[in-house]
Amino acid sequence: MRRLIFLLLTVTSVNLFAFTRSDRIVLNPSGPQPNHSIIPVPADEPDVYYNNVSQIIIIDGTGEVDYYDVEIMSLITFDVVISTQVNGYYDTIDISALPDGEYGITIDAPTGNTFEGFFSTY
């Protein structure tokens, strides 16, 4: 009986994790790039994820900067729908109020580097 309960709990927890997805948002540095085939990743480039269940953008910074300025723009209306400043180490942005659609995200580091990416809330 204990094995059955353990098995059911394990299957349930695995299913919960399977339905919670955090898709990586691929960022591209904007501005002039070096003239060679391997472009080094800037030290202040954060990892950015969209979690479809909790409706948040996760910004996992490197700690190289204290903050990032973030703008999220609708690719349908081209309006900036969110403009905020987040922690340079780790922060989240609640996007649950946004309608389903395609969005662009621009992240400006105080070092002058700008990173751009796209995500969909469908």
pLDDT digits (tens, 9 = 90+) for 63-110: 999 999 999 999 999 999 999 999 999 999 999 999 999 999 999 999
Q: What stretch of H or E contains 7?
A: helix 2-19
Q: Does residue 115 or residue 39 have the better pLDDT?
A: 115
Q: Between 12 and 95, name the one with better pLDDT.
A: 95
pTM as predicted: 0.77
Query: Does the pLDDT value for residue 2 go beyond 90?
Result: no
In eight-state DSSP terms, residue 21 is: -
Which pLDDT value is given to residue 62? 87
What distances in angstroms separate CA 90 from CA 33, 40, 72, 114, one per listed residue? Answer: 27, 22, 17, 17
Predicted pLDDT of residue 111: 95
Both tokens of 51, joined, read 């979690």
Cα-to-chain-centroid distance, residue 18? 19
d(CA 105, CA 50): 11
* Domains contained in the chain, CATH given: 22-120 (2.60.40.3080)
